Structure 1
Amino acid sequence: MLQFRFEAEVIHWRGPSPFFFAPIPAYHSEEIRRVSKLVTYGWGVIPVEAQIGGVVFRTSLFPKDEIYLLPLKVDVRRKTNITAGDPVCVDMTIRPAQR
């Protein structure tokens, strides 16, 4: 399992369904890409466990424009009181896909 710590600025994606993300820095995205085939469960999506402000959650990274995006669920944002433009410190562990 790979573990990372990074800081990011929360972004808002309006898309067909609005969502908030923490962009993974490019240098970590390169490492994630190297193991992606071993851990993805399809479509390049990577399962992770992350922690922000003491809140631990499981989600999946999405590939986007040479980096990955960490989705920030509504429940996580409410508990940590974060929104678009806020800086976050993330501890994250890549998890093998559960089939």
Structure 2
Amino acid sequence: MRFRFTAPLWEWQAQANWYFVTVPEEISEDIREVPRMPRGFGSVRVRVQVGGSDWSTSIFPDSAQGAYVLPVKKAVRVAEGLAEGEPVEVALEVLDL
């Protein structure tokens, strides 16, 4: 499963310096519908590309938003010049199938 989307970068208010991009609801629903072995916190392993940066991580369900959230590490934010509130173009491949 591969997806492309654009969404704003936001900082988690409960923990400073943790930044995320919310996976759109429609894509989150598609990911959620695929049966898979349960993982910690309901996470799903993914491969991500933002600009020239690519990395493996996990997305996590956010019950408040009804969607998954993608953590964006500092090295990527710096390398790609990402700032809070700005749109981020994401290519996401689900590894847990």
Q: TM-score, normalised by structure 1?
A: 0.87
- For structure 2, the 5+ residue unaligned runs are none
Q: Distance in 1 between matches of 2:46 and 2:15?
A: 24
Shift of the alpha carbon at 1:58? 1.0
Mapped to 1, the partners of 2:72 and 2:6 lie a distance apart of 14
1:15 is matched with which residue?
A: 14
Normalised to the residue count of structure 2, the TM-score between the two structures is 0.89
List 4+ stretches of structure 1 deviating above 6 A: none
Partner AA of 1:73 in structure 2: K
Q: Please, which runs of 5 or more residues in structure 1 have no aligned partner? A: none
Partner in structure 2 of residue 72 of structure 1: 72
Note the aligned Cα RMSD (angstroms). Answer: 1.6
Distance 2:33 2:89 in 1: 23
Question: For this pair of structures, how many residues does the alignment match?
Answer: 95
Q: Aligned residues: percent identity?
A: 34
Amino acid at match of 2:54: V
- Cα 1:71–1:40 change in 2 (3 A) is farther
Question: What is the identity, as a one-letter code, of the residue corresponding to 1:96?
Answer: D
Structure-2 residue corresponding to 1:55 = 53
